[in-house]
Structure formats: structure tokens, C-alpha cells
Amino acid sequence: MGEILKYSAPVSVFFSRFFTSAMLFGFAHAYAVNQSVSVFSTYPSEALLEACHSQQKLAFLTPADTDNTNLCFEDAISPESFITVLNESGEFDNLLPYGEGNDYELLIANVGAAPNEHQQYATQFAEFTLQWRGVEIDTSSFDSGVVTRDGSPIDNLDGKKDAHLLVSRWLQHMKQSGIFTSKFLFNALNASNYDEALQVPDTVGEFTKLDTQLFPDPFSGAITRYTHPDFEDALVDVTIYPFLGQLSIEENELLPKQLESDLQKARATAELRQLTLYQVSPVSPYEVNSRLAGWKLGLSAASDTSPTIYATTYVFRQQDKIVKVSTTFPPDFSDNIVNQLIVQVEVPEESEMMKKVRSLLLETQR
């Protein structure tokens, strides 16, 4: 369970002023897959072996031809051949053969005719399994058979093209199913459905909603950005994400930790950028009205050669989620906007994914 819980809460707007890649909006990608992906060879599943062994039933195979060892030879196509084709496809920003420590891992299994055996008719089979932090999220199988216009199968007579054909069919599946998209990942893990269950206003004061997007990590949730028609640098971000603690945790314990984490990161960022960091409003309780309260942190940063920048962050709890509202202006201006905004936010209920995570965490604590 430790691998899937490589948890990092989303950072506030303060950091996006320096690291624009952390924000999702308006970022053009040159590759179909921008995440780092490790690739490994693996053993074939029973289903893949069964598909291969079914070749025995073909009428033209003689008893001498039905030796499963030669007909369904593991890694008949070398793993390096698959990796080469994947690299040459140009679809991956960072493909790492046998790499460790990446969220995404692609496992490839292959069975088929042994080298120089039954090349005139035997088919190659491949199974592609995609995992996220060790959890399987997609499995698909393909064979190297070619279908003619009348629908009858013919065999791929050029073994050298088998790897390219199998990878091409998987890449087509990858694009059609969107298996590397956040939406697919959230659905596969039974995470919260922010597209349908999250409610945020379209406008707040003079600010207008730009978009709502999912983070690449279900534990980071979703973010909605608001922009101002006259001031380009005036931003309001609303980030919704699940917290890892049990539902019984007290808000006065939960919420300040979210801001303390932001403060530590802000200090490190300011030091790196040679800025002086000020706590305009230290971490403290914040009351919207008699029924709604959270916590607030106001920061500013400046140097002799750069103008002062501001970041005010508010955190609230709804159900099993943290609602973090971040602005790029001082608390005196932020408070009114946040008060209007937060009362209109409704978050998804606790997801099946988080129910399982909390149950596992509870077991480890016993």
C-alpha cells in the first residue's frame, strides 16, 4: 500500500508564480504520453496462453506442428524489440526500460512461434498491462494476424514486423481509450468523479471560471481556476483533494497542517529565488460565517529587484475533502472573494478508493 500512497497535497498559487508547469491550464504537450513510463517484460497470463494454444484447433496443423513449446514460445519476440518500437513511435516523453520508481509501469508479455519455427502460419500474441503505483488499470491483448477485406484471417509472413504491428495496435488502443489520461485513471481507481459531482460557481465577483481540470494523481484531486478580465495576474484557484486521515479527525488538527506544508514550501522557494518572505497573515483560524470556518495563511515575497507578490490561502473541510482556495492578492482583498466563493462549493462524497485506503490505514495502525 505504501507505493500507492506517495501522497503530496497540491501547492498553492504562490508556487505557480515560479513553476508554471505545476499548473495544468494552457500547457501544450508535444507527446501523447507526458508521464514517465517504465517498461518491463513479464510472464503471459493464462488468457494469453489459451489464445495462443487455440491455434492447435486449426485444421491445417498436423500433430507434429502442435508442440506448445515451439508454437507458444515465451518472448518469441525479444523485449528489446518491443521497447525499440515504443521508443521510435514518438508517443512518449520519457520511456524508461526497466526503470524504477515511476507511477506508470507498462508490462509486456509475448508468446508465439519460436524463432525459425512454424513461421509460415503461426501467430504472435502480446499482452500489454498498464499499472499505476502497482495497481493494474488496463490490460489488452493483440495478435499479429491480419484480416483481409472479406474478413478472413491471413498470417503475417514477416516476423520482423510483428513487434511493430503489435505495438501499433496497442498504441491505437491507448489513444482511443485514453489510458494515460487523468479521467481514465480516476475511473479505474474508483476515485471521486469531479466532473459530475463537484459544484463550483461560474463567477465570483468580477472573476470568471476558466476551467476545471483533474490532476494526474487522484490523491491531488481537481483544480478550478478563476481569472479577472482586467488584471492578468489576479488569480483564484480552488483545489479539492481528499485527506488521508480518518473521517473522525478534528478540523483544528487537519487544516493547519495543510497550510504549514505550504509555508515550508514557500520558504524553500523564496530562498531559492533570493526573495524575502513575509507572513502577512500567519496561520490562524478563519470564520466565513457562524456555520462555516476554516484556516488562513497570507504571504508576500519581494526583493530589491522585483515587485512584491502576494499569496493568500484558505483551507476548509467538506466531507472527506480539503477545499483550498488560493489567491494572488493580499488578505484584505481576498477575504470577500473567498466568502462569496466557498459557500457555493459542493464536493463529491467519499470515493470507494478512499474508503479502501482509510480501511487499510486503520488496519496498519492496530
CB contact set of 161 (below 8 Å; sequence gap of 6+)? none
Q: Which of 140, 141, 135 is nearest to 188 (CA)?
A: 135
Q: What's the CA gap between 357 and 4, in Å, rounded? A: 9
CB contact set of 167 (below 8 Å; sequence gap of 6+)? 82, 85, 86, 89
Residue 9 has pLDDT above 80, yes or no: no
CA distances, 241 to each of 48, 195, 319, 351 (Å): 38, 14, 11, 11
Classified as helix, coil or strand, 184 is helix
Kindly report the backbone phi and psi dihedral angles of residue 61, in degrees, each rounded to the nearest multiple of 5, phi listed first: -85, 130
Per-residue pLDDT band at 56 (split at 50, 70, 90): low
* Per-residue pLDDT at 71: 78
* Per-residue pLDDT at 295: 98
Residue 68 has pLDDT above 90, yes or no: no
Could you tell me the three cell numbers for 349? 462524497
Q: What mean pLDDT, rounded, does the chain reach? A: 87
* Per-residue pLDDT at 237: 98
Q: What's the CA gap between 358 and 363, in Å, rounded? A: 9
Per-residue pLDDT band at 54 (split at 50, 70, 90): confident
Per-residue pLDDT band at 123 (split at 50, 70, 90): confident
Cα angle value 326/327/331 (rounded, 5°): 105
Q: In this prediction, what percent of the chain has a pLDDT beyond 90?
A: 75
CA distances, 227 to each of 83, 204, 298 (Å): 43, 10, 20
Residue 152 has pLDDT above 50, yes or no: no
pLDDT digits (tens, 9 = 90+) for 260-289: 999 999 999 999 999 999 999 999 999 999
Better-predicted residue by pLDDT, 71 or 276: 276
Q: What's the CA gap between 134 and 141, in Å, rounded? A: 19
Q: What's the CA gap between 146 and 26, in Å, rounded? A: 41
pLDDT digits (tens, 9 = 90+) for 164-200: 999 999 999 999 999 999 999 999 999 999 999 999 9
* Per-residue pLDDT at 61: 54
pLDDT digits (tens, 9 = 90+) for 294-349: 999 999 999 988 899 999 999 999 999 999 999 999 999 999 999 999 999 999 99
* Per-residue pLDDT at 153: 45
Cα angle value 263/23/277 (rounded, 5°): 25
* Per-residue pLDDT at 4: 58
**13 burial class (0-12, 13-18, 19+ CB within 10 angstroms)?**
buried
Q: Where are the beta strands (DSSP E) in the chain?
A: 33-41, 73-74, 92-97, 104-112, 125-132, 135-143, 146-147, 153-154, 203-204, 207-214, 222-227, 235-242, 276-289, 292-303, 306-318, 321-327
* Per-residue pLDDT at 30: 58
* Per-residue pLDDT at 29: 55
Residue 107 has pLDDT above 60, yes or no: yes
Residue 13 has pLDDT above 70, yes or no: no
Among 15-19, 21-25, 28-32, 111-115, name the most confident range: 111-115
Q: What's the CA gap between 122 and 151, in Å, rounded? A: 18
What distance lies between CA 156 and its chain's CA centroid? 36
pLDDT digits (tens, 9 = 90+) for 211-262: 999 999 999 999 999 999 999 999 999 999 999 999 999 999 999 999 999 9
* Per-residue pLDDT at 306: 86
* Per-residue pLDDT at 149: 34
Residue 351 has pLDDT above 60, yes or no: yes
Residue 131 pairs with which residues in a beta bridge?
105, 136
Per-residue pLDDT band at 25 (split at 50, 70, 90): low
Could you tell me the three cell numbers for 224? 478550478
Residue range 156-161: mean pLDDT, rounded: 55
Better-predicted residue by pLDDT, 154 or 114: 114
* Per-residue pLDDT at 28: 47
